[in-house]
Chain A
Amino acid sequence: MGAWSAISGWLAGFGAASPWALWLLPLALLPLAASGRRRAAVAALSAAPPDPVSRWIARALTLAGILALAGLILALAGPYRAGERITRIGVGAQISMLIDRSGSMNETFAGRQPSGAEESKAAASKRLLAGFVGARSHDLFAVTAFSTAPMLVMPMTDRHDAVRAAIAATDRPGLDYTNVARGLGMALSQFGDESGVSRVLLFISDGAAVIDPRMQDALRAAFARIHPNLYWLFLRTKGAPSIYDRPPGEDTPQAAPERHLDLFFKSLGLPYRAFEAEGPQQVADAIARIEALERDPIPYTEVRPRRDLTGACLALAALGLAVLALAALAEADLSARRRTVERASPVSAEQIRRAA
């Protein structure tokens, strides 16, 4: 019964455009009873010696006939395999990207407006992230941008083309402010509810801002619930303070927001790494390292579209018909009258009678 249900389950994935044609399917058994070949009537079958080769050919021809008829009838019914979503396990992660869209992202790493061959931070990160998106086929990506307010650019999806397009859109001239807290909140909300999935929050910015204590509590709760791996790719402009620099004066969040954001991230108790990049090459290195770190299995959904199987059925029928056509070409005509006229014997009846 297990096998039966397995077969019926497998068959459930198929359909036919005009199922009534399937009622003709018993006709496919016709070659068992009859054949279209020319028959040579013989006095006794036992005259032909037993021959295994012929027996196999006969079976093959019967099978070809069944195949041809069944293929044609199935093709008539217009079969298809129904589209479905298949969940598979691959290597990858759910990656939520949070990209800074503040005005400073439009500057180069040297802190100037890009000119000539120079590349802005946004362009560099766009270029490198686009490569990152295509590298592994089973990653899910979400893209969130933020400046003053967070912007949901692309929800979690496995359509990498869409993700790349979303990333490509992030190098438009940005707005001014950097509101990290709300951006983080939206980026966290991009993750779904599935368990057993490796989650990555990739935070790309060239600066930081103060997160006020009330928002800090909410973020902590969200981080604790979702528990992502957190990577901060800090695009440091030349001369700007590093994450690790203590400010010369008072060590307050207002004086060194980068350092305090880093401390906040460290205090979350998550797997967290910060990458400080001062040029496109370093950005590339950092992304490569992130890619190498995220090698966990992930269930992903593959959408298999409805597929028309008429061609396959016709191909089967053509195969059967080709075999039958070959057999027809190889047909020998046993009843061909090969008249080997023997000369009448010169001895006439009269001579014989005389001899008798």
Chain B
Amino acid sequence: MTGAPPAEIVYLPRWRPRGSRPGAHRGRDPGGLGTFRDQVPFLALPDARRIDLRATLRDPFEGVHVRRFEARAPVEVWALVDLSASMGFRGTADRIDLARDLCAGLAASATRIGDGFGLIGCDRAIRADLYLPATRRRAAALAAAARLADAPRAARSAEGMLDAARRLAGRPKLVFLVSDFRWPEPLVARVFAALALHDTVPVLLADSAEDAGLPDWGLAELDDLEGGGRRVVFLRPALRRRWIAREHARRDALRRAAGAAGARAPFHLVDRFDADALSRHLLAT
């Protein structure tokens, strides 16, 4: 992505953000400018500039009505990036490159419309060198995203996600949970539970080399990136079917876990970062 402008991601928060600062998303609090929301009696909102003459004249009780508008407020977009060893996987694409492209896209898209972008990289714990508090400064956000590609990935677990979720306390945020979700089942559930207050979008980094791209026949020696040892696998059509079925089952389990915690359905980022596909997904879920 270096050089080329980051792709643009369109997202809609599920909730109405509060706050008086002007932003791009429909806010919960009424404000002076924006989309018309409703009319309220003058006494409730004594703002003479926005008296709705037509509604006032129409009122048989001769009350004075004031128009109220929706304020547009900013949100904070956070990317929680798994930096455990399994993120070092290279198949059709380099997994960390996918994460970097995604984060660069998010950083650019968020800062473009005045939203803050924050980044937390974590493996066993939060990685201090890859922590970016939510900022609206585009350059800082993009630089943090670019740093992802060079981040060492050695740890064998992603327990730091829990710390990261704790650090996101406070107002609801749009949280992108970027990982391959090669986690133990309980950790998945706990992370989703810890992020239940936020609008969470799990982004499953997948690779066609891991399922559909498997050869029909052959002998392969698998080496676990997270230190799980070696294993020889004799690939054949039956095993390949079982393998793919297992991957589907894993994705289903992730979707169920996300649904149970109120998060959005996982977005499958396979092989190539496609900003438009992510935008469609974000608008649809």
Contacts and interface: CB of A to CB of B under 8 A. Distances in A.
Interface of A: 35, 37-49, 51, 53-54, 57-58, 61, 327, 330-342, 344-345, 347-349, 352-353, 355-356
Given A51-B233, A348-B276, A352-B279, 20 more contacts: A35-B221, A37-B219, A40-B223, A41-B223, A43-B210, A43-B226, A47-B182, A48-B231, A53-B239, A331-B219, A332-B215, A332-B219, A334-B91, A334-B209, A334-B222, A338-B92, A340-B208, A347-B276, A347-B280, A349-B7
B180 interface: yes
Contacts of A352: 10, 276, 279-280, 283
Given A43-B210, A49-B246, A342 B234 contact: no
Give the interface centre of A43, A344, A345 by most chain B CB atoms within 10 Å.
A43
Contacts of A356: 10, 12, 283
A39 B230 contact: yes
Main secondary structure of the interface of B (DSSP, over half): mixed
A55 B210 CA distance: 20
A35 B230 contact: yes
B143 interface: no
Interface stretch (B54-62, B118-126, B267-275): B267-275
Contact of A61 (B86, B232, B283): B232
A48 B271 contact: no
B186 interface: no
Interface in B244-267: 246-247, 250
B90 interface: yes
A39 B276 CA distance: 35
Contact of B274 (A54, A339, A345): A345
Nearest to A338: B213
Contacts of A43: 86-87, 89, 95, 180, 182, 210, 225-226
A338 B223 contact: no
B272 A342 contact: yes
A338 to B, nearest CB: 5
B86 A335 contact: no
A344 B8 CA distance: 14
Give the interface centre of A44, A49, A51, A344 by most chain B CB atoms within 10 Å.
A44
Main secondary structure of the interface of A (DSSP, over half): loop
B35 to A, nearest CB: 13
A107 B230 CA distance: 88
Given A51-B233, A356-B283, A42 B224 contact: yes
A60 to B, nearest CB: 9
Contacts of B208: 338, 340
Interface in B202-219: 208-210, 213-215, 217-219
Interface residues of B, number: 53
Nearest to B206: A43
Contacts of A39: 221-223, 230
A352 B218 CA distance: 44
A349 B275 contact: yes
A336 to B, nearest CB: 8
B3 interface: no
9 contacts: A39-B223, A49-B242, A61-B232, A327-B219, A330-B218, A334-B222, A340-B213, A348-B276, A355-B283
Give the interface centre of A38, A332, A342 by most chain B CB atoms within 10 Å.
A332
A173 B29 CA distance: 141
Contact of B232 (A54, A340, A345): A54
A332 B220 contact: yes
B223 A334 contact: no
Nearest to B223: A39
Nearest to B216: A332
Given A42-B224, A345-B277, A332 B232 contact: no
Give the interface centre of B222, B228, B246, B247 by most chain A CB atoms within 10 Å.
B222
Nearest to B84: A43
A332 B272 CA distance: 23
**Closest CB pairs A-B (n = 7):** A332-B218, A58-B232, A43-B86, A39-B223, A44-B182, A349-B8, A45-B224
A337 B7 CA distance: 24
Contacts of B228: 44-46
A38 B234 contact: no
Contacts of B19: none
Contacts of A333: 215, 218
A91 to B, nearest CB: 54
Given A53-B234, A332-B235, A349-B276, A40 B221 contact: yes
Contact of B89 (A41, A49, A54, A344): A41
Contact of B86 (A44, A57, A330, A348): A44
B222 A40 contact: yes
B170 interface: no
A37 to B, nearest CB: 4
Nearest to B221: A37
Contact of B215 (A57, A334, A344, A355): A334
Given A42-B89, A42-B225, A349-B276, A54 B242 contact: no
B39 to A, nearest CB: 26
Contact of B233 (A35, A38, A41, A54): A54
B219 A334 contact: no
A327 B230 CA distance: 16
A39 B89 CA distance: 13
A333 B222 CA distance: 11
Give the interface centre of B8, B86, B209, B274 by most chain A CB atoms within 10 Å.
B209
Interface string B113-144: 00000000000000000000000000000000
A340 B223 CA distance: 25
B92 A339 contact: yes
A332 B243 CA distance: 15
A262 B154 CA distance: 104
Contacts of B224: 42, 44-45
